[in-house]
Structure 1
Amino acid sequence: MSVLFTSKATAVGGREGHVKSDDGLINLDLVMPSPNNTKEGTNPEQLFAAGYASCFDGALNLIAKKQKYSIESSITAEVSLMKDPADDGFKLAVTLNAHLKGVSQEEAEKLVKAAHEFCPYSKATRGNIDVTLNTTAE
């Protein structure tokens, strides 16, 4: 395989630290979400959700175009951090909420399933974390 591009980001201080991309476009404080935390910042799960949602939406639109569908779409990714009883650690789960305009519910579900087979994030997570697909057509 040939590398198309490589993205870089450096984190310092873990979940209560800072993350910055090599080009400076991402330059964010990290905070652990909790009702008592008044600090502003993001967390790794939000960053993963943003990446997965944008990648999946790109895959969905590419699949739709190849299959000669004209759609409008949005993907909302919900990334949950959960306790893992297997090792008393943590694990992730993802719900992808796909909203499509321009196709029937049945067509939308087929496109979303095909995008899930094609998307690099879906390939990377397959068999590693639970991913739930919710599809709504308008």
Structure 2
Amino acid sequence: MTVPLTRTLYTATANAVGGRNGTVATDDGHLAARLAPPRKRVPEATDPEQLFAAGFAACFGSALAEVTGDSGLDTTAARVTCQVELGTTATPAGYGLAVTLSVAVPGWKADDLLPYLHRADAVCPYSQAVRGNIPLSIVALDAGGAGGDI
């Protein structure tokens, strides 16, 4: 089900030229990158999956800060790692993505973090955009590296 916006808060615009072998830049000039396909390790180039991973990780971190801030908890030191996999699918398109978010907050145990990750997932715009479209795993980690999935 498509959920329409009731009010636009911000609009980001980027222009790509040349696809995966080209360039991408935002209209404000703050981001400009040379692109290369993921398996071609071109020096000083990135790929669309890395850009998506960076955006999702940052957005999810902000969503976590929002939901924990309501409880007076501080997650400003949270480390959100977003892994985006590009692969083949058994669909007419032939390609798809899968995402894993791994989250650790210094001083927090994975079990204590899990309820907040559920809440962050519910409010994160990136989570909402991919929900039901691609596999999304969210893993809470504690200082020892142990974790649990949601």
Please give the TM-score of this superposition, normalised by the length of structure 2. Answer: 0.85
Identity of aligned residues (%): 36
Ranges in structure 2 where 5+ consecutive residues have no aligned partner: 1-5, 144-150
SS of residue paired to 1:128: coil
Contact 1:8 1:22 (C-alpha < 8 Å) held by counterparts? yes
Where does residue 139 of structure 2 map in the other structure? 134
Structure 1 letter corresponding to 2:58? S
Q: Which structure is richer in relative contact order (CA contacts within 8 A, separation 6 or more)?
A: 1
Alignment RMSD (CA, Å) = 1.5
Ranges in structure 1 where 5+ consecutive residues have no aligned partner: none
In 2: Cα distance, 1:38 partner to 1:73 partner: 30
Equivalent residue for 2:58, pick from 54, 78, 99: 54
Contact 1:95 1:133 (C-alpha < 8 Å) held by counterparts? yes
Where does residue 27 of structure 1 map in the other structure? 32
Where does residue 148 of structure 2 map in the other structure? none
Where does residue 111 of structure 1 map in the other structure? 116
Structure 2 letter corresponding to 1:55? C
What count of residue pairs does the alignment treat as equivalent? 137
Shift in Å, 1:13: 0.6
Where does residue 3 of structure 2 map in the other structure? none
Summarize the alignment of residues 1-20 of structure 1 with structure 2, pairs less than 5 Å apart.
1-20=6-25
In 1: Cα distance, 2:8 partner to 2:91 partner: 36
Please give the TM-score of this superposition, normalised by the length of structure 1. Answer: 0.92
SS of residue paired to 1:81: strand
In 1: Cα distance, 2:74 partner to 2:93 partner: 46
Structure 2 letter corresponding to 1:48? F
SS of residue paired to 2:63: helix
Deviations 1:60-104 (A, max 9, x none): 011011122233311010011011122252100000010112433
Contact 1:17 1:30 (C-alpha < 8 Å) held by counterparts? yes
Moved over 6 A (4+): none
Structure 2 letter corresponding to 1:132? S
In 1: Cα distance, 2:86 partner to 2:138 partner: 18
